[in-house]
């Protein structure tokens, strides 16, 4: 953050200069040849072709102001501290810089002040130490409240072994030594310069100003032996200066270890590694920063670009520094020295916080004024990267037909307005069917009227499959690097290099999928990469939304609200919470060309729980698993299902609202990950009429104060469930036909619910009976004879889970209110007993009829919403009865 003066030369020879602490001999700084990599960076920044000439032309065309603006913006520098004590032919004043950087401050170079004083009072012979010191002190004090720090270049004049006990007599002699040397005045006599240093430090300390001290390399002609910061021992031990704040510049290169040691031992010593970056080779920069961090506390190390004369040097310095710091911190993570959060915090400290404290900068408010940079390469690199790297936010709602839909806003807009106020949406949204994006006729909803889709911020999350895309891509790179490293190690140890070479080859040829090959350290590497460098890590977020009719007033059609409403009744009347755990059955389909036409074919043709099927789909399932994990959705089990290309992922139960949210995200994840792998995942109940169907069976239990109340508390119960559990389940059984329009919402749903397909075709319940629509379940871990939950099989992947759960809870409440009992369970195949059993509705038309007759739901779900749901279902019935093949398109929607 600390910068010396910048000025401008339009000369081709000196595009990339570095700081020169003494007045340069030529009018232009002296390092004429930019490294190829620097040239490349600048060419990229300016969008010019890769030659010095082309770059030069670009910057001439932009002109001074524009090219400076481009560089500073891309460099993302918040604070410029300018040392205006450098003599150059053309200098722009400090004020000029304020249009490029939010905060500009001045650094006072004390030797320069002294030289100016001696030059101005140009009658040399009249100076005495006394008269000089009077003016010098006055001068320092008069600017003390206008500068942010003092700075000394004593290192380059007489070295760092500052004699803090230098006497007035010695200083006086030194002064006349300086004066006798002739014009221009150059203070280099050790006694005199030490004297003014000590004095300046006293003033700095009395004004609580820090002092920058040049250390390590600088000019070519300096005596490197004298710039070792260990020479500062006298000064650092001097009791008068224990409260001073000193920052050693330039990483003290090549004495970085020494500097690190001093910072660890002396509270007053801080470090700055400007100039070491970007002047050294990349490895030089890395090793010097590593050495600097070996002992020094992380909160004492800061960075400055040390840019000078050309705006490009600021950009290069900033860019290289970020790369170097990233590399160093990444290694620290990989080696286990730092955790990722620690590394991120360290990056922030190094690039901002430490300097803010050291120079007492109040830049927090001004920081936010910085406009986004022009250059693409740094757009993502932001301290606030958690927000800045997000492009879009998807605002998701689930309609009456169970389709996931979203509106998308740029993140900026989300935070400025939509996150709070939502987006507008037509009232017709809850009247749409699986086949029409207009309101169905009997829904009582029309194209007139608007609601607000307002995000529920508690559900906002990153799209995990986007980051895992980078992840798998990056994992590949990381893995290669790690393997390479391993091979080197083997070679170095003198054995097995041939096999490790093979290993390298093999691994490089493997398709890499997340997690399977990535260990924790690599994962940290990646996180850091994304966080600090923003390596292409453009992200999106998604959030579930509620429907409001006006601010603060929920719309009576809102499905999430419907679930909350009935959950509240259950809580208020019975002090019960419903827990739900969903299974997800889905098919993976690949695209094949048959007679020049694209068709969907199953991913494989294996059988139930096939190990080969699972193995083949592992890369996808692993990525799904990792994505769900990142969303805190807990997967309990996965297996290949009986259908061709069919799989199942079972989720752990949680309270019903979260379970429904989680189910939505799970379906999003499964479909998205499959898409990434070139497959289509579908939850359609019966996408192929000649294959097994897919359900979204749900396990229901009741809890009170976190305790499972569904399960019997002792062995005396008839069925292993409590009386409360039985009454609730009996309510569900009782109303099951009218629950179906909620949980099996398409005509196609009834193609699945057939006898002998483990989907529950008869109105009955059973204990561990896979053919019963309601199954009392005693999973492993539950004591023998006890039942912990019941599974509803007549729930499928086209159902809106909020409405589905709301209908189940409604029926359960009725069972509780009426103290219903369960009939005898059915053991064995209900098909055999079908004479005595009621068949569940065999079609959507029948189940809607059952719902029409059932008055319970009108009060609980709400009349208007119920009308809309029935209207949508009737539209489905009509459409699919008229379009027999239309079900084939469902795979693209569910």
Ligand X SMILES: *[C@@H]1O[C@H](CO)[C@@H](O)[C@H](O)[C@H]1NC(C)=O
> Minimum Å distance from CB 634 to ligand X?
27
> Minimum Å distance from CB 804 to ligand X?
21
Check if the beta carbon of residue 583 is closer than 8 Å to that of residue 700: no
Q: Which two tokens stand for residue 522?
A: 């690599």
> What is the tally of helices (H) and strands (E) in the chain?
30, 28
> Minimum Å distance from CB 428 to ligand X?
12
CA 388 to each of CA 318, 410, 527, 533, 642: distance values in angstroms, whole numbers, following the listed order: 19, 11, 15, 12, 45
Q: Which residue is nearest to ligand X (CB)?
A: 177
Taking Cα atoms as reference points, which of 609, 598, 747 lies closest to residue 684? Answer: 747
Question: Looking at beta carbons only, is 343 or 613 nearer to ligand X?
Answer: 343
> Minimum Å distance from CB 31 to ligand X?
29
With CB under 6 A as the contact rule, the residue among 30, 44, 379, 444 that binds ligand X is 444
d(CA 61, CA 761): 77
Q: Which two tokens stand for residue 559?
A: 């499905």
Question: Looking at beta carbons only, is 36 or 716 nearer to ligand X?
Answer: 716
Check if the beta carbon of residue 840 is closer than 8 Å to that of residue 760: yes
Question: Looking at beta carbons only, is 137 or 444 nearer to ligand X?
Answer: 444
> Minimum Å distance from CB 158 to ligand X?
6
Check if the beta carbon of residue 124 is closer than 8 Å to that of residue 179: yes
d(CA 381, CA 390): 12
Question: Looking at beta carbons only, is 387 or 592 nearer to ligand X?
Answer: 387
> Minimum Å distance from CB 329 to ligand X?
20
Question: Looking at beta carbons only, is 54 or 867 nearer to ligand X?
Answer: 867
Question: Looking at beta carbons only, is 247 or 822 nearer to ligand X?
Answer: 822
Binding status of residue 824 toward ligand X by CB under 6 A: no
d(CA 601, CA 587): 10
Q: What part of residues 270-309 is at the interface with ligand X (CB under 6 A)?
A: none
DSSP 490: H
Question: Looking at beta carbons only, is 707 or 863 nearer to ligand X?
Answer: 863
> Minimum Å distance from CB 343 to ligand X?
17
> Minimum Å distance from CB 570 to ligand X?
16
Which stretch in 119-127, 550-558, 671-679, 775-783 sits in contact with ligand X by CB under 6 A?
A: 119-127
Binding status of residue 499 toward ligand X by CB under 6 A: no
With CB under 6 A as the contact rule, the residue among 11, 339, 376, 384 that binds ligand X is 384
d(CA 821, CA 266): 79
> Minimum Å distance from CB 444 to ligand X?
4
> Minimum Å distance from CB 729 to ligand X?
14
Which stretch in 4-12, 122-130, 250-258, 748-756 sits in contact with ligand X by CB under 6 A?
A: 122-130
d(CA 675, CA 671): 6
> Minimum Å distance from CB 436 to ligand X?
19
Binding status of residue 126 toward ligand X by CB under 6 A: yes
Check if the beta carbon of residue 306 is closer than 8 Å to that of residue 317: yes
> Minimum Å distance from CB 819 to ligand X?
4
Phi, psi angle pair for 510, to nearest 5°: -75, 140
Q: What are the start-end ranges of the E strands in 328-440?
A: 390-398, 404-410, 423-426
Which stretch in 189-197, 219-227, 487-495, 803-811 sits in contact with ligand X by CB under 6 A?
A: 189-197
Give the list of residues 6+ apart from residue 683 with CB closer than 8 angstroms, or none. 584, 585, 586, 667, 694, 696, 796, 797, 798, 894
Phi, psi angle pair for 584, to nearest 5°: -120, 115
> Is residue 184 reached through a cis peptide bond, with omega within 30 degrees of 0 on the bond before it?
yes
Binding status of residue 611 toward ligand X by CB under 6 A: no
User: In Å, how far from its chain's centre is CA 67?
Assistant: 32
> Minimum Å distance from CB 190 to ligand X?
4
Check if the beta carbon of residue 58 is closer than 8 Å to that of residue 48: yes
Q: What part of residues 676-705 is at the interface with ligand X (CB under 6 A)?
A: none
Kind and range of the H or E run holding 116: helix 110-120
Query: How many chain residues are in contact with ligand X, going by CB under 6 A?
Result: 19
In DSSP terms, 420 is beta-bridged to: none
Question: Looking at beta carbons only, is 181 or 832 nearer to ligand X?
Answer: 181
Question: Looking at beta carbons only, is 663 or 861 nearer to ligand X?
Answer: 861
> Minimum Å distance from CB 280 to ligand X?
30
Binding status of residue 368 toward ligand X by CB under 6 A: yes
Question: Looking at beta carbons only, is 387 or 510 nearer to ligand X?
Answer: 387
Give the list of residues 6+ apart from residue 490 with CB closer than 8 angstroms, or none. 496, 497, 500
d(CA 456, CA 546): 7
Phi, psi angle pair for 494, to nearest 5°: 80, 20
With CB under 6 A as the contact rule, the residue among 13, 144, 491, 867 that binds ligand X is 867
Binding status of residue 190 toward ligand X by CB under 6 A: yes
With CB under 6 A as the contact rule, the residue among 20, 48, 189, 584 that binds ligand X is 189
Binding status of residue 33 toward ligand X by CB under 6 A: no
Q: What is the DSSP string of 273-326?
A: -EEHHHHS-HHHHHHHHHHHHHHS-GGGEE------SSHHHHHHHHHHHHHHHH
DSSP 74: H
Question: Looking at beta carbons only, is 36 or 125 nearer to ligand X?
Answer: 125
Question: Looking at beta carbons only, is 196 or 247 nearer to ligand X?
Answer: 196
Question: Looking at beta carbons only, is 756 or 819 nearer to ligand X?
Answer: 819
Total residue length of the chain: 894
Question: Looking at beta carbons only, is 63 or 823 nearer to ligand X?
Answer: 823
Check if the beta carbon of residue 393 is closer than 8 Å to that of residue 462: no
Q: What part of residues 827-866 is at the interface with ligand X (CB under 6 A)?
A: 863-864
> Minimum Å distance from CB 345 to ligand X?
13
Question: Looking at beta carbons only, is 68 or 722 nearer to ligand X?
Answer: 722
Binding status of residue 387 toward ligand X by CB under 6 A: yes
Question: Looking at beta carbons only, is 285 or 806 nearer to ligand X?
Answer: 806
With CB under 6 A as the contact rule, the residue among 26, 36, 123, 716 that binds ligand X is 123
CA 83 to each of CA 153, 164, 279, 447: distance values in angstroms, whole numbers, following the listed order: 11, 25, 19, 66
> Minimum Å distance from CB 443 to ligand X?
9
Taking Cα atoms as reference points, which of 134, 108, 136 lies closest to residue 210? Answer: 108
d(CA 340, CA 314): 28
Q: At 636, is the secondary structure helix, strand, or coil?
A: strand
Taking Cα atoms as reference points, which of 886, 891, 792, 885 lies closest to residue 587? Answer: 891
With CB under 6 A as the contact rule, the residue among 66, 506, 821, 838 that binds ligand X is 821
DSSP 447: S
Site map 149..188 versus ligand X, x via CB under 6 A? ---------x--------------xx--x-----------
d(CA 562, CA 803): 7
d(CA 452, CA 545): 9
Question: Looking at beta carbons only, is 357 or 412 nearer to ligand X?
Answer: 412
Binding status of residue 131 toward ligand X by CB under 6 A: no
> Minimum Å distance from CB 558 to ligand X?
15
> Minimum Å distance from CB 351 to ligand X?
14
Question: Looking at beta carbons only, is 58 or 722 nearer to ligand X?
Answer: 722
CA 22 to each of CA 74, 157, 810: distance values in angstroms, whole numbers, following the listed order: 29, 10, 84
Q: Which residues bind ligand X (CB under 6 A)?
A: 123, 125-126, 158, 173-174, 177, 189-191, 368, 384, 387, 444, 819, 821, 863-864, 867
């Amino acid at each position: 953050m600390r910068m010396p003066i910048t000025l401008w030369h339009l000369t081709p020879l000196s595009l990339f200069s570095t700081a020169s602490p003494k007045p340069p001999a030529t009018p232009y700084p002296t390092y004429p040849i930019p490294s190829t990599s620097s040239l490349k960076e600048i060419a990229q920044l300016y969008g010019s072709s890769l030659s010095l000439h082309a770059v030069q032309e670009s910057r001439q065309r932009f002109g001074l102001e524009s090219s400076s603006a481009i560089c500073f913006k891309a460099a993302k520098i918040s604070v410029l501290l300018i040392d205006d004590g450098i003599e150059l032919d053309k200098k722009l004043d400090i004020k000029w810089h304020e249009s490029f950087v939010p905060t500009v401050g001045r650094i006072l170079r004390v030797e320069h002040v002294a030289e100016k004083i001696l030059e101005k009072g140009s009658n040399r012979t009249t100076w005495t130490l006394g008269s000089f010191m009077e003016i010098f002190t006055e001068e320092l004090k008069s600017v003390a409240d206008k500068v942010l720090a003092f700075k000394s270049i004593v290192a380059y004049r007489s070295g760092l072994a500052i004699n803090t006990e230098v006497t007035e007599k010695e200083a006086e002699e030194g002064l006349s030594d300086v004066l006798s040397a002739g014009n221009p005045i150059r203070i280099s006599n050790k006694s005199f310069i030490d004297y003014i240093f000590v004095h300046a430090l006293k003033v700095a300390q009395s004004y609580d100003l820090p002092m920058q001290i040049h250390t390590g390399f600088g000019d070519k002609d300096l005596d490197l032996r004298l710039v070792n910061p260990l020479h500062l021992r006298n000064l650092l031990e001097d009791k008068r200066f224990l409260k001073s704040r000193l920052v050693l510049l330039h990483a003290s290169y090549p004495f970085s270890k020494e500097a690190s040691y001093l910072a660890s031992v002396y509270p007053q010593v801080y470090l700055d590694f400007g100039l070491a970056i970007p002047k050294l080779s990349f490895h030089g920069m890395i090793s010097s920063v590593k050495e600097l961090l070996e002992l020094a506390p992380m909160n004492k190390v800061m960075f400055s670009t040390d840019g000078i004369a050309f705006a490009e040097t600021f950009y290069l310095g900033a860019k290289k520094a970020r790369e170097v710091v990233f590399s160093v911190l990444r290694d620290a993570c990989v080696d286990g020295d730092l955790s990722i959060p620690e590394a991120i915090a360290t990056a922030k400290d190094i690039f901002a916080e430490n300097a803010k404290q050291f120079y007492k900068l109040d830049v927090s408010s001004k920081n936010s004024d910085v406009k986004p940079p022009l250059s693409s390469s740094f757009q993502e690199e932001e301290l606030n990267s958690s927000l800045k790297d997000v492009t879009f936010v998807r605002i998701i709602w689930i309609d009456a037909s169970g389709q996931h839909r979203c509106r998308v806003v740029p993140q900026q807009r989300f935070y400025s307005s939509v996150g709070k106020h939502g987006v507008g949406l037509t009232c017709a949204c809850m009247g749409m069917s699986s086949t029409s994006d207009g309101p169905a006729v009997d829904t009582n909803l029309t194209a007139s009227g608007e609601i607000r889709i307002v995000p529920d911020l508690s559900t906002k999350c990153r799209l995990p499959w986007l980051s895992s895309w980078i992840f798998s891509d990056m994992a590949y790179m990381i893995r290669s690097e790690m393997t390479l490293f391993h091979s080197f190690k083997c070679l170095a140890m003198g054995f097995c290099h041939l096999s490790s070479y093979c290993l390298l080859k093999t691994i490089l040829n493997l398709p890499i999928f997340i997690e399977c090959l990535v260990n924790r350290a690599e994962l940290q590497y990646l996180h850091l990469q994304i966080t600090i460098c923003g390596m292409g890590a453009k992200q999106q977020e998604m959030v579930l939304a509620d429907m409001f009719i006006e601010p603060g007033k929920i719309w009576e059609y809102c499905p999430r609200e419907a679930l909350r409403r009935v959950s509240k009744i259950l809580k208020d009347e019975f002090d019960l919470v419903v827990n739900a755990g969903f299974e997800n059955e889905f098919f993976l389909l690949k695209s094949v060309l048959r007679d020049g036409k694209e068709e969907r074919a199953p991913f494989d043709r294996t059988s139930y729980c096939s190990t080969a099927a699972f193995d083949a789909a592992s890369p996808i399932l692993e990525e799904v698993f990792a994505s769900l994990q990142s969303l805190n959705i807990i997967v309990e089990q996965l297996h290949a299902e009986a259908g061709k290309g069919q799989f199942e992922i079972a989720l752990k139960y949680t309270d019903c609202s979260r379970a429904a949210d989680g189910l939505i995200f799970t379906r999003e994840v499964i479909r998205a990950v499959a898409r990434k792998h070139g497959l289509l995942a579908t939850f359609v109940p019966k996408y192929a009429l000649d294959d097994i169907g897919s359900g979204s069976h749900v396990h229901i239990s009741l809890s009170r104060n976190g305790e499972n109340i569904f399960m019997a508390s002792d062995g005396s119960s008839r069925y292993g469930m409590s009386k409360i559990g039985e009454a609730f389940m009996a309510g569900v059984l009782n109303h099951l036909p009218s629950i179906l329009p909620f949980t099996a919402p398409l005509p196609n749903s009834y193609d699945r619910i057939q006898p002998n397909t483990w989907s529950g075709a008869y109105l009955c319940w059973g204990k561990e009976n896979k053919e019963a629509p309601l199954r009392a379940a005693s999973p492993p871990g539950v004591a023998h004879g006890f039942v912990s939950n019941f599974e509803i099989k007549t729930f499928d992947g086209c159902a809106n889970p909020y409405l589905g759960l709301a209908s189940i809870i409604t029926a359960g409440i009725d069972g509780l209110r009426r103290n219903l009992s369960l009939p005898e369970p059915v053991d064995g195949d209900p098909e055999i007993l079908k004479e005595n059993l009621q068949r569940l509705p065999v079609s959507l038309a029948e189940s809607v009829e059952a719902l029409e007759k059932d008055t319970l739901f009108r009060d609980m779900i709400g009349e208007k919403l119920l009308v809309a749901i029935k209207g949508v279902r009737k539209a489905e019935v009509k459409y699919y009865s008229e379009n027999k093949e239309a079900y084939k398109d469902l795979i693209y929607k569910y």
